[in-house]
Copies of this chain bind each other. A is one copy, B any other.
């Protein structure tokens, strides 16, 4: 794509939430999509382009610092001079729900690798760019991180997942406090419910009630809202759940 003044970046663009966020931000900015495989981001890149938007897909494992470095270098080459208006960290590894004594150290490492180390690498690359965009961007430059119920509740048999998502929340909160006063809006979205994705159709939530699973497009609308909040009224943590969800 030709080099724009601003762009948006979505890591973990292959999931329902990531794809929807990319589509939503593409209404305003060219969007760079990061995902572990081309097949993950390809349909969304195509959809953005079909709608007249601009998109660039890059294959990168969020938990691999070299891959993250390479992705940001590719962005710098392909979008020279473009400033980062909004970055979404949505990378998720699958998670093991099992008795603690059956967990392997690798289950923990995988959870932390994507939830925490990956966010750390991503934020260290993205925040300097977001800071650079502060004076001129149409909205306060924004870093949004996708959390989960396990970010605030360590349920039985969710030990490794909770370890990752609690950590991610703590890291994001610290970034919000450090970078907010410098004009960058750092927000954490606590997605408290199942997400309605094509590949999750078989998973029944809330007894199959209509809208008992969260629409990815609804999450994306909320991410866009966070991005456009006035700097006198930033939200740091946003909970999102279906109207029928127990909480």
Binding site for B on A (CB under 8 A): 65, 99-101, 103, 105, 108-109, 112, 116-117, 120-121, 123-124, 127-128, 140, 150-151, 153-160, 162-181, 183, 185, 193, 196, 211-215, 217-219, 221-222, 225, 229-245, 247
Contact = CB atoms under 8 A, between A and B. Distances in A.
Q: How many subunits of this chain does the assembly comprise?
A: 4
A120 B99 contact: no
Q: Which of A160, A163, A183, A221 has the most CB of B within 10 A?
A: A163
Contacts of A151: 170
Contacts of A222: 225, 229, 233, 235
B247 A232 contact: no
A117 B108 contact: yes
A191 to B, nearest CB: 8
B243 A218 contact: no
Nearest to A159: B174
B247 A177 contact: yes
